Structure 1
Amino acid sequence: MYKFLIFAFFTLSFVNGQTKSDLFFTPSDTLHVKRKNAVILTESALGGLTLLGLNQLWYSDYERSKFHTINDNSEWFQMDKLGHTFTAYHLGRFGAQTLNWAGVSKKNQLIYGGSLGFMFLTGVEVLDGFSEEWGFSWGDFFANATGSSLYIGQELLWDEQRVTLKYSFSKSKYANLNPNKLGSSFTEQLLKDYNGQTYWLSINLYSFFNSSKIPKWLNVAVGYSADGLLYGSKELQQNFFPDQKRQRQILLSLDLDLTKVETNSTFLKQFFNVVNVIKIPFPTLQFNSNGHVTGHLVYF
């Protein structure tokens, strides 16, 4: 009997906790001033402190310079540009969705939330412009704009995200050869080792064919990655690793749109919304720029 009472107690506690969390995570139908103020204050503080921290801690290790621009569009097979696009897209998505949670109008969600990634990353780019080590990259700037535009454009056109940018990573063999550029730890490699990163355009099929019997959560994904990148430029790599070949990779796979998974739990909806930035592993075809085609039973 006591086991049943203990089970009942924890079950009721869980259900009660779920109910409270569902109420908290449920977007407001009308403008919720306290939520709006909390969102604005939190995002402003996080963005401002991050830029201040970068300026004081990261950029202070390098010589300052007059504002200058650079052209790095040919480096890293443009993987770094895709990283900018991905980040701007999801920061904009986060910004718009938090304002939606606060009951802010759709127009203001897109103006002030959807542009969050572009505004923040432009601030970082300006700091780069005053650093001797780097410089303001117009390629990065337009990549940031592309990411924000992808989110805002779909909301204006379809009132939903039919095409989502996603990310996957698997540890490569190249990071140990040049840890200064590609990262010495797993965390650094997640951000810096472009050989292990893949960026995906994940396309929801049902959104385009909603009269079909296609599952609402089934996506087709087209990925882009690279192999053999030890330095950004081909010339620099040939100086240090003359025998290492570089190649682009296009990938074709399936994916899941977790935001389309039906559940009555608002908490789970928000959880799925957060983890939906990650590409789900599936069998994948890989097309290399050297002409080779490779099949993977599971690719991540």
Structure 2
Amino acid sequence: MLARLLFILLTLAILRPTASAQPLPGTPGTLPGESGIRQGRFIGVMVGTAAFYTITLILLKKQWYKKKQPFHTFNDNAEWLQMDKVGHMATAYCMSRGGYELMRWSGVDERASILTGGLLALLFQTTLEVYDGHAEGWGFSKGDMVANVAGTALFMGQQFGTGQQVVSMKYGFRKTIYPPFRPNLLGKTTGQQMLKDYNGQQYWLSVNLASVLPVGPSFPRWLNLDLGYSGSGMTGGHENPPMVDADGKPIKFERFRQFFLSPDVDLSRINQPDPLQPLPWQRFVGTVQFFKIAAPSLEYNRVNKLRFHPLLLPKE
């Protein structure tokens, strides 16, 4: 029902007359070579989006939200060294950008594409939070919703204000030593650990240097500088539960935050003639490049102090 309503509302909003609409300052009104909505692409995107939304929620309801309770809230703001909140922000950002690019590819104008991308991301994330509000062991998290809105605002604010993504969000992952101690919580397989093991996740703010520094035309527009955040030593949300090894000796892990600095490559800006007029293939490269490319990095944390990593982050 929600998917059908979303489809109808977005279709009516996007297909409304736009003859008097003006492009945003500094942003293209339509893509090069496009003259309005591409009907086939647009219908495909809308049907695919509604199908993805519906199927995903059905699967989650069957596999994740089996036991339903009365709606309740849950304060998890202090859990996992706030890694969960940064993850919500990054996910909302990526979904907003992906929805926007699909709309632009369909020929939808700039304003409608920005709004549609943001609304789709918030709808999906909010639905999951409502599900959490009825789930045993979880609850509706106001902190999660703030993070969802922040991620969407990061995308929409930049796109409305500058017509490009000067700062983007990316995700990184490495396997850690912690899941075997609590596999049901941190994941048994690599795929589960990518979602559940916050020790192995990193989230990056990727800044395009040519967009923020007074550089000349010969400066590589694809060069980014990334600021990363992660946590380590976590086998529980608020604190680590008591654990012992095979000999009955206590096992203790120290929880600490990690901060990273690393160069990066924005593949969508390679050979890009104009940052406000990306080629069609470049739009999707920027969206799918959600994973941080491996590169040398500097790390600082209060336990190990300053460390240099030649390429991949070490397993901890």
Q: Please give the range of the TM-score, normalised by the shorter of the 2 chains.
A: 0.7 to 0.9
Tell me the alpha carbon deviations over residues 85-110 of structure 1, each in whole angstroms, 9 at most, x when there is no partner. Answer: 11111111110100001111111111
Alpha-carbon distance in structure 2 between the residues aligned to 1:56 and 1:178? 23
Q: Name the SS of the counterpart of 1:70 in structure 2.
A: coil
Distance 1:71 1:153, change over 3 A: same
The question of whether the paired residues in 2 share the 8 Å contact of 1:219 and 1:256 is answered with: yes
State the 4+ residue runs in structure 1 displaced beyond 4 angstroms.
263-268
Partner SS, residue 230 of structure 2: strand
Which whole-Å deviations, capped at 9, do the CAs of 1:188-220 have from their partners, x for residues lacking one? 111111111110001000011254343101011
Give the Cα separation in 1 of the matches to 2:98 and 2:33: 13
Aligned residues: 272
Matched-pair identity in %: 38
**Is the 8 Å Cα contact of residues 284 and 296 (structure 1) preserved in structure 2?**
yes
Amino acid at match of 2:285: F
Alignment partner, residue 224 of structure 1 = 229
Question: Any unmatched runs of 5+ in structure 1?
Answer: 1-24
1:107 corresponding residue in structure 2:
111
Q: Confirm or deny that 1:168 pairs with 2:177.
A: no
Verify: 1:44 aligned to 2:57, yes or no.
no
**Aligned partner of residue 65 in structure 2, secondary structure:** helix
Give the letter aligned to residue 219 of structure 2: I
Whole-angstrom CA distance in 2 between matches of 1:246 and 1:185: 23
Say which structure is richer in helix: 1
What is the root-mean-square deviation in Å for CA atoms of aligned residues?
2.2
Matched, 1:121 2:125: yes
Distance 1:37 1:268, change over 3 A: closer
Match of 1:145 among 128, 144, 149: 149
Q: Flag the 1:194–1:89 CA change in 2: closer, same or farther, 3 A.
A: same
Contact 1:27–1:100, Cα closer than 8 Å, also in 2: no
Counterpart position of 1:258: 267
Q: Over residues 101-152 of structure 1, what are the superposed CA-to-partner deviations in whole Å (9 max), with x where a residue is unaligned?
A: 1111111111112232221011011011011221101111111111111100
- How many Å separate the matches in 1 of 2:35 and 2:188? 47
Alignment partner, residue 285 of structure 1: 298
Counterpart of 2:159 in 1: which secondary structure? helix
Give the 3-state SS of the residue equivalent to 1:164 in structure 2.
strand
Residues of 2 paired with 1:157 and 1:263: CA distance? 20
Matched, 1:86 2:103: no
Partner amino acid, structure 1, of 2:233: G
> Please, what TM-score do these two structures have when normalized by structure 2?
0.80
CA distance in 1, matches of 2:251, 2:214: 52
C-alpha distance in structure 2 between counterparts of 1:114 and 1:27, whole Å: 25
